[in-house]
């Protein structure tokens, strides 16, 4: 019974990951020889589960989820990225903001990313990002921005990153640059 339950949970887990495009799933033909499978797997990180081949996408071919200070500056100048600051409004008043960012507190990210674009503009004062647009989340120290990133990914957003240094690194770097 325990083995049967484990098998069902594993299959469900595989289906959920596949439905969220977290993994690439290929149904293998039953007549595939070991040699053909071995040739197919050459240089392809994968796991075989029963007659299903799970291919893991390597992070080396994808952009990193972490954005450096320098990269964030370039993204802000280019105007191709929406920067969402997930701190609370009182934190923005007390510490400051990254110019060009939109404030959406962490507790509201899930609902905000499901609003109609007009509602998003009215409530948050900035353009709502599309599911395929570059989004960078920021917070005070990089913890809440990672949570916001996970929320966005669960909602189907594909090009999401977070500034792991957060406001602390931004303020420190901006202060150093303004002294020069």
Active-site hit among 72, 75, 139, 140: 139
Residue with tokens 């669960």: 154
**Helix H or strand E encompassing 149:** helix 143-154
Structure tokens at 77: 């100048």
Where are the extended beta strands (E) located within 74-143? 81-85, 102-103, 134-138
Question: Active-site residue 48, yes or no?
Answer: no
| Catalytic (active-site) positions | 139
């Amino acid at each position: 019974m325990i083995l049967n339950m484990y098998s069902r949970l594993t299959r469900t887990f595989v289906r959920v990951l596949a439905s969220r495009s977290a993994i690439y799933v290929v149904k293998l033909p039953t007549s595939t020889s070991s040699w053909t499978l071995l040739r197919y797997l050459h240089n392809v990180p994968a796991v075989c589960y029963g007659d299903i081949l799970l291919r893991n996408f390597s992070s080396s071919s994808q952009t990193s989820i972490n954005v450096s200070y320098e990269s964030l500056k370039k993204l802000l100048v280019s105007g191709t990225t929406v920067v969402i600051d997930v701190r609370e409004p009182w934190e923005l008043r007390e510490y400051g903001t990254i110019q060009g960012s939109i404030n959406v507190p962490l507790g509201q990210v899930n609902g905000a990313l499901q609003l109609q674009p007009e509602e998003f503009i009215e409530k948050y004062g900035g353009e709502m990002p599309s599911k395929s647009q570059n989004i960078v989340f920021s917070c005070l120290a990089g913890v809440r921005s990672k949570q916001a990133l996970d929320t966005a990914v669960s909602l189907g957003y594909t090009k999401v990153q977070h500034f792991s240094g957060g406001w602390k690194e931004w303020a420190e770097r901006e202060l150093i640059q303004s002294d020069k």
